[in-house]
Structure formats: C-alpha cells, structure tokens
Amino acid sequence: SSNMAKSKFEYVRNFETDDTCLRNCYIVVRLDGRNFHKFAEQHKFAKPNDDRALGLMTRSARSVMEELEDIVVAYGQSDEFSFVFKRSSTWFKRRASKLMTHVASQFSSSYVFYWKEFFENQPLLYPPGFDGRVVLYPSNRNLRDYLSWRQADCHINNLYNTVFWMLVQRKGLSTTQAEDRLKGTLAGDKNEILFTEFGINYNNESAVHKKGTTLIWEKRDETVIKRTKLPNGEEKDMPVTRSRRRVEAYHCDLIGEQFWEEHPDILED
C-alpha cells in the first residue's frame, strides 16, 4: 500500500533478484510429486499404474490451465506434469518465480481439492507437495524434443514396470528376483518376456499408460437448447450454437509429426 511504500524499510525490496525469463522462449514449468514412491504406497496405489492417481493428476493440470494465463500445452505422466507457456506470454512480466509458484500452488491445492472425486474410499493421509522448475526453450524443435524426452521416459518406465509387476504378481517372484531378471534387458527382451510368458502384446496396453496425457485448448461448437420469446409473444425451444474453448485430453504420440500437423496452432513461429 502507499503508506508502506514510503517507509525507511522500503530499500529491502532491492534485495530481490531479477528472474525475468528470456523473451521469445517457451517457458516450461515441470512439477514432480515429492516422495511419491512413499505417497503411492501409503495410499495403496495400484501397481504399476493407478488410474485414480493419473485421473487426479490430469484433473489438477486442467485446473492449472483453466485458472492461469497463456498455457498452450501440458504433458503429464506418473507424478509429474509439464506446463508450456506460449513464447509471447507477458504474464507476470515473465518472472520465473511467479509463474512457477502459481503453477505449483494451483496444482497442489487442486490435487487436495479434487482428491475425493478420484479416491472415494481412500482418505488423504497427509498434505502432498510438488517441486517445480523452470526451463526455457528457444526453438520449436527444442520444445518438441523436450516433450519427446518426457514421453520417451514414460514409455521406458511403463514397459519396465509392466514386466516387473507381471513377474511379481503373476509369477510370484520377489521384487529383488524380478529386478535381477530384468537387469541388462533391452526393450525387445521385455516385449518378448511379456509375450511369451504372459501372452501380452505391449502394443495393446492402454494408451494413457504408454503415452501419458497431453492437454491442449480446443475450440468446439456447442449447441444448447434455449427457451426463446418469439415476436408474437410465443415461447419456443430454439437451438443456439456458440464456439467454446475447452481443455481436451489426448493419449497420443508426441514424438512423430502427426500430432503437430493436426494441431498447428499450439506452436508459434
């Protein structure tokens, strides 16, 4: 307030450091759940993939996109979510700490707020936390490679976890035995174990687990029936169509060209 601004204490503001993000760069904020290995165990997450937990992560990310400005795409898997601000954003004067803390706190409070919608019978035992970091990407290629990197990570972990938990749950191996069995195996070997020992074709596993979740803004025509008064005084139900922007979720490949060709508005030149 104005009376504060003139106090002799005001000089301490000069101790604040400048953290303005470089112009023209995409600003990526990535969040990751704090100690979620333990959080998953204590809240009885299904192994290897708990769909309630994934649904809650996506719901919280949707809240971040809807409540904050200028996020054009978000990508999540496991206990992490990345949010990409458009390169021309001037939100909070591009101050890294403001952007990152707004994302982290909106996400964390949403995670708690929506918990019951996804975990009806499982009480939340303690307040979860998320760390955040900011990374700048100067080109579309760099940004796409960033998202490809996170999706490749999702794939590698999911393939490993799928075989690992099959060996434990179906073959009765201990976790140490399953670890030893998988030591040094390549993707092909893991696919082979899944197919020959469990009759599972990894390609047929669910897309949300293999590919993670991508959120983007889409324009949709929405038609609602509205009671309208006609000039002759009569009331009639009439269809009214308007274009609405909403967040849509995809579980598709981000590494190839197709997704980016189908959604040319996400990246700017």
Where along the sequence are the contacts to ligand ATP (CB under 6 A)? 32-37, 40, 45, 49-50, 53-54, 78-79
Applying CB under 5 A, the span of 15-23, 24-32, 42-50, 66-74 interacting with Mg ion comes to 24-32
Q: Is the separation of the CB atoms in 83 and 61 below 8 Å?
A: yes
In this complex, which beta carbon is closest to Mg ion, that of residue 45 or of residue 191? Answer: 45
Q: How far apart are CA 222 and CA 31, in angstroms?
A: 33
DSSP for residue 45: -
* Cβ at position 153, least distance to Mg ion in Å: 9
**Which residues, in sequence order, are CB contacts of 36 under 8 Å at separation 6+?**
78, 79, 128
- Closest C-alpha to 24, from 71, 94, 81, 118: 94
Interaction partner, residue 153 (Mg ion, ligand ATP, none; CB < 5-8 Å by kind): none
Nearer to Mg ion, 55 or 260 (CB): 55
Task: Please check whether residue 87 is in contact with residue 25, taking contact to mean a CB–CB distance below 8 angstroms.
Answer: yes
Q: Which of 80, 81, 87, 96 binds Mg ion (CB under 5 A)?
A: 80
- Identity (one letter) of the amino acid at 269? D
Q: Rounded to whole angstroms, how far apart are CA atoms 209 and 228? A: 46
What percent of the residues of the chain are helix, what percent strand, and what percent coil, each to the nearest 5?
45, 25, 30
Nearer to ligand ATP, 25 or 154 (CB): 154
Single residue of 27, 28, 33, 154 touching Mg ion by CB under 5 A? 33
Q: Cβ closer to Mg ion: 78 or 110?
A: 78
- Stretch of residues binding Mg ion (CB under 5 A), selected from 74-82, 116-124, 146-154, 224-232: 74-82
Q: Between 167 and 266, name the residue whose CB sits nearer to ligand ATP.
A: 167
Residues lying near Mg ion in the complex (CB under 5 A) are found at: 32-33, 36, 78-80
